[in-house]
């Protein structure tokens, strides 16, 4: 089951647990700011071969607002993973809650 988290819940979980943070946005969105420790895997790439990309349980999916990340989490669930999280509100919600975004 995919668990939806607020920005504060996600930050608490990230700080206390070993999670893979996957940002499913496009590269231009990623460059504008992403969660610390996240890695970019656009949703279109994840759709191509989720089993090859998702090699472990304990994944927090992130996008701009929470819609694409929910789709990604459902794809992960279909592969048999069980510790799956979706950041409700996405990076917008994260930033609005006062949490930092990384830019490169």
| pTM over 0.85, yes/no | yes
**pLDDT tens sequence across 26-72:** 999 999 999 999 999 999 999 999 999 999 999 999 999 999 999 99
Mean pLDDT value across the chain: 96
Homologous superfamily (CATH) for 2-96: Rhodanese-like domain (3.40.250.10)
pLDDT of residue 62: 98
- Residue percentage of the chain with pLDDT more than 70: 100
pLDDT at 104: 75
CA distance 78 to 42: 18
């Amino acid at each position: 089951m995919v668990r939806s988290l607020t920005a504060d819940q996600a930050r608490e979980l990230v700080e206390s647990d070993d999670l893979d943070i996957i940002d499913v946005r496009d590269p231009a969105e990623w460059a504008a700011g992403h969660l610390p420790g996240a890695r970019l895997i656009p949703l279109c790439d994840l759709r191509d071969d989720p089993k090859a990309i998702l090699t472990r349980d304990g994944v927090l999916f992130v996008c701009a607002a929470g819609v694409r990340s929910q789709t990604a989490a459902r794809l992960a669930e279909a592969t048999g993973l069980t510790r799956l999280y979706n950041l409700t509100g996405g990076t917008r919600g994260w930033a609005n809650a006062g949490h930092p975004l990384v830019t490169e």
